[in-house]
Chains A and B, each alone.
Chain A
Amino acid sequence: MTGTGSRTLGPSGLLWRFATTVAVVTTVALGTLVGNDDWWPFAPMSQYAFAVRNDGVINSLTMDALTVDGDVVRVPLSKERIGIERAEVEGQAPRIIAHPALLQDIAVLHARRLPDEPAYTTIWLRNTSTQIGTGAATVRTLATWDVREPTHPQPSGIPGGRP
């Protein structure tokens, strides 16, 4: 069944639609003008918006762990493996540096998501600075945590939620 002709909207139908348009466009514009990520879905459209100096350094966080087998391994920071991404850890890096006990929760996540891998006994949060141009890299340790009960780690209990 098909129809022909034109269906117009009444004054109230037009009014709430136009008001919605103004509200949505204003809010999303304010989000980018003065807001922050907490405003999502009206957060600033800020991916790749920061400037990088042509002679600057590129920082990249990594996490390493000592396992119960005595090996030092790279913690697989991805949603497919451990369940949290490198960018998410980078976003929380200041918190982790202030409260290294949050690394206990990385051990908990590892035990839940990758139970067949050797458990972590120590976890290090590290930063690699690469000089643009020369490619020279410097690695620095930002936080260290000795996991409590490595084979059956319990969450740190540090509260989450909005800052």
Chain B
Amino acid sequence: MTAVERFLAPALPQARVAWLRRVVYAFVWLDVLWIVTDPIPHGDVPPSLYRGLVVRSFLHLPPPSHTYVRVLLVVILLSSAVAATGRLPRLAGWLCAVAMLDWVSNAFAYSKVDHDHFALIVALFVLPTAGRARVGDVDLGSQAAGWAVRMVQVGAVCIYFLSAWAKMRFGGPGWASGATLIWALTRRPNGIGPWVGSHPALTHALQWTVLVAEFSSPVLLWLRGRALYAALLFWAGFHLSTYLMLKIHFLPLVVCLLSFLPLERLSGLRRLRPATPRRGGRAHPRAASGELSSAR
């Protein structure tokens, strides 16, 4: 196995893909019903205010209409429900991926584009490539599963790293010493936000922290064990604080951070349940089985 192969397509347990599918496809429900809910009202917006996107033109997706967005919602809910169970992983998975591409691009086709969905869209397109995967496949390593998991991780890192890059492109080197956070806190005050906004030195320290962390984010792809968990905890805390101060949560990205965790260990926890007491003694070897279940 070459170094590139070990890095991009490590043999990871199929069980991690099975768990990731459950989480990601369940999140799709939350996303379309609670977070990205603009497409339904967009169905009533006169087409003059529709701006489109290259991807929508490329796929010949028409401007949204009242009926179209409702049919699309049903397609997403059904396909993600099937895909979450692990059945028809390719058919249901790719149907869900294309439908979500339509849904989210609809939300962003009226002159307001967010960047929290990149990793989720990547996840929706790569998860079907791993084929059939069961949560019991803890000891079955697969490069197809490994590549899918790595792509989700790469997608998450791209968001962080390129956010820092964009700050240099659009904000310039002085971004971290500027008033961008104060600007955001003025427009979307929430919780302790106004207090933070009244302390410019604190906002500058927070901006420097974010910028350095974003530029360092590719290290996530190499970290292991406690160092990796500490880094993930930092990002979870970052997203929690932007939610508390600005009501901006980045949940579609947070869900993708789960791909860094050894989710296959959840399969071991399931075996501890009283329903299968005779197999209770087998719960621990999974956690200690080295390479396959180690956190990457």
Contact = CB atoms under 8 A, between A and B. Distances in A.
Q: Do A and B bind each other?
A: yes
B236 to A, nearest CB: 19
Given A54-B178, A84-B41, A7 B170 contact: no
Interface in B138-186: 138-144, 147, 151, 154-155, 158-159, 162-163, 165-167, 169-172, 174-175, 177-184, 186
Interface residues of B, number: 78
B5 A14 contact: yes
B191 interface: no
A56 B55 CA distance: 36
Interface string B25-41: 00000000000011001
B156 to A, nearest CB: 12
Interface in A1-30: 1-9, 13-14, 17-18, 20-21, 24-25, 28-29
B49 A43 contact: no
Given A88-B112, A156-B48, A40 B9 contact: no
A79 B54 CA distance: 23
Interface centre among B46, B113, B118, B167 (most CB of A within 10 A): B46
B140 A105 contact: no
B51 A92 contact: yes
Contacts, number: 234
Contacts of B154: 21, 24-25
Nearest to B107: A79
A14 B9 CA distance: 8
A69 B122 CA distance: 50
Interface string A64-88: 0000000000000001101111011
Interface stretch (A31-39, A116-124, A140-148): A31-39
Contacts of A155: 46-48
Contact of A3 (B41, B111, B137, B170): B137
B229 interface: no
A137 to B, nearest CB: 11
A30 B99 CA distance: 25
Nearest to B1: A8
B275 interface: no
Contacts of A112: 44
Nearest to A89: B111
Contacts of B108: 37, 40
A5 B9 CA distance: 16
A151 interface: no
A3 B143 contact: no
Contact of B121 (A7, A41, A90): A41
A109 B200 CA distance: 40
B54 A2 contact: no
Given A39-B54, A41-B121, A156-B46, A7 B38 contact: no
A58 interface: yes
B136 A1 contact: yes
Contact of A51 (B48, B104, B121, B180): B180
Contact of B179 (A46, A52, A156): A52
A91 B183 CA distance: 17
Contacts of A2: 134, 136-140
Contacts of A7: 11, 14, 140-144
Contacts of A56: 179
Nearest to A46: B166
B16 to A, nearest CB: 14
Interface of B: 4-5, 8-9, 11, 14, 37-38, 41-42, 44-55, 57, 63, 101, 104-105, 108, 110-118, 121-122, 129, 134, 136-144, 147, 151, 154-155, 158-159, 162-163, 165-167, 169-172, 174-175, 177-184, 186-187, 200
Given A43-B113, A87-B111, 14 more contacts: A1-B134, A6-B141, A7-B11, A38-B54, A40-B55, A40-B105, A44-B169, A50-B170, A105-B45, A132-B179, A160-B48, A160-B52, A160-B63, A162-B52
13 contacts: A1-B136, A7-B140, A24-B151, A43-B115, A45-B118, A45-B159, A49-B171, A91-B110, A105-B49, A109-B44, A155-B47, A160-B50, A162-B57
9 A-B pairs with least C-beta separation: A91-B111, A83-B41, A51-B171, A3-B140, A2-B136, A160-B50, A105-B46, A6-B141, A49-B166
